[in-house]
Each structure stands twice: as C-alpha cells, then as structure tokens.
Amino acid sequence: MTLPDADPEQRRALERCKSYGWDLYRDGALLYSSPPLTLSMTRRTGDGALVVKGSPS
C-alpha cells in the first residue's frame, strides 16, 4: 500500500502501531476490507510517497 506522505506524523504513528487494516472503496461502496495486518516496514520513496508493508496477523 502506498500513501501520500503529506503529514510527517502519519509515518511516525504507523511505525508505533503493531497492526493495521485498510478498506478499499469505489464510489462510496466498500469493495474490500483487509484482515488485521502486522506492520513489518514503512519507508518513503524518492517522490515522497509513504510505503507500508504488512502481513496477515
């Protein structure tokens, strides 16, 4: 998952968490809801995007 890194605190908050989940919507309708994921890595790409990596808990 790649998120814009407009807020530097967002990355720090994600690094402190142990698990996360995400939902995918299109036109207001829920298409997919992830299972709980264990955070394994966060990093910023050269263009400033925040990359979050995790695996099912």
pLDDT (tens digit per residue) in 7-32: 778 777 877 888 888 899 999 999 99
C-alpha distance from residue 4 to each of 14, 16, 29, 41, 43 (Å): 13, 18, 22, 16, 11
Single-letter amino acid, residue 4: P
- Domain enclosing residue 21, as ranges: 2-56
pLDDT(1) > 70: no
Q: pLDDT per residue over 34-50, tens digit each? A: 999 998 888 878 877 77
Count of structural domains, the chain:
1
Indicate the pTM of the whole model: 0.63
